Amino acid sequence: MASISLKNIAKHYGTGKTAVQVLHGISAEIADHEFVVIVGPSGCGKSTLLRMVAGLEEISGGEIAIGGRVVNDLEPAERDIAMVFQNYALYPHMSVFDNMAYGLKIAKVPREEIRTRVDKAAQILELGELLERKPRALSGGQRQRVAMGRAIVRQPQVFLFDEPLSNLDAKLRVQTRLEIQKLHRDLGITALFVTHDQVEAMTLAQRMMVMNAGCMEQFGTPEEVYNRPATTFVASFMGSPPMNLLTQGPNTDFGGRSGAIMGIRPEHLQIGTTGWAVQVDTIEMLGAERLLYCRMGDEFLIVRTDESLSRAPSIGATLYVTPRADRLHWFDATTGKRC
């Protein structure tokens, strides 16, 4: 495996006044054996960045190094990477074994070595009983595991995942996430994983890169990103439901802070007999907890409650909520950056 170094990576399409800038100076150091997730909304540039690391997109500026070797001008085949895509890209006429072995056969790896590598990957991914099947006889989750197995047998320095779970249903996504976590544990792979799903990002990442409009808003562990978001964008994007962001109004006391935005997570609002007066607009029942979507003047507020609440509030009811003082977040109203 190998480290990945990104230094001031830029990407634009076109030239002169008509040029469209899609990546604005991305810099990050990914350690050997580290699993990093690139997360952000559609169109933020995360897949473009991954494709630049893979060599599938030309670099407009900056430097990419894999294992200490600058790869800006190297072809994808020369970078010693393996990529797993959203679509499985399996050969329909080939068996699972032949799909996994195909790249090794092209590279003229000895037959015994191919068998050893494929059998080992199949054991890791629990595909041993499926090696003779064709892709049409597999479920979506099994096909994605075959695609991952095809990457594993190559024994590359770096694994690149481009939204590999997007085509799976909710149950299979959870199952495949666990398999990817186990894969990283067993093989110690260096990986970049792209997703727009913040739950996937939080559960898979050792560190995550949160992107917005071609810029990196924050790079840190899931705990750092969730507990100390660097910007209002990160605060509102990471977390389900997102952080409440409030401007100063008649119902909120900012303690003399001017030009500030107050952030508070829904789980850190406590229902009581005093505090902010809010009106319940909508309620989502989520089993052991409820999400209360409330209105406070011109502001909207989400409150998370659990089943210990003695009586469930009704739509239209007025509640009083108090934010935990030790869980407040402050952001500059002009820049959106953490104060």
Q: Where are the domains of the chain?
A: 4-229, 241-332
Kindly state the percentage of the chain with pLDDT values over 70: 95
Average pLDDT over every residue of 40-51: 95
10 Å Cβ neighbour count for 216?
Answer: 24
Q: 241-332: same fold as 4-229?
A: no
Confidence of residue 37 (pLDDT cuts 50, 70, 90): very high
Per-residue model confidence (pLDDT) at position 308: 64
The DSSP bridge pattern shows strands 299-306 and 318-323 to be: unpaired
Per-residue model confidence (pLDDT) at position 126: 85
Question: How far is 313 from 319, CA to CA, in rounded Å?
Answer: 8
Distances (CA, A) of 91 to 45, 106, 194, 205: 29, 14, 24, 31
Average pLDDT over every residue of 43-72: 96
Q: In the sheet where 61-66 sits, what is the strand order?
A: 20-30, 4-13, 61-66, 69-70
Per-residue model confidence (pLDDT) at position 259: 80
Identity of the residue numbered 82: A
Give the pLDDT confidence of 74-94 residue by residue, as tens digits. Answer: 999 899 999 988 888 899 999
Which two tokens mark 322? 């108090």
Give the pLDDT confidence of 229-269 residue by residue, as tens digits. Answer: 999 999 999 998 999 999 865 556 666 676 889 999 999 99
Topology of the domain comprising 241-332: OB fold (Dihydrolipoamide Acetyltransferase, E2P) (2.40.50)
pTM listed for this prediction: 0.88
**CATH number belonging to the domain at 4-229, selected among 3.40.50.300, 3.90.45.10, 1.10.10.10, 2.40.50.140:** 3.40.50.300
Kindly state the percentage of the chain with pLDDT values over 90: 67
pLDDT value at 280 more than 60: yes
What's the longest Cα–Cα distance across the chain? 75
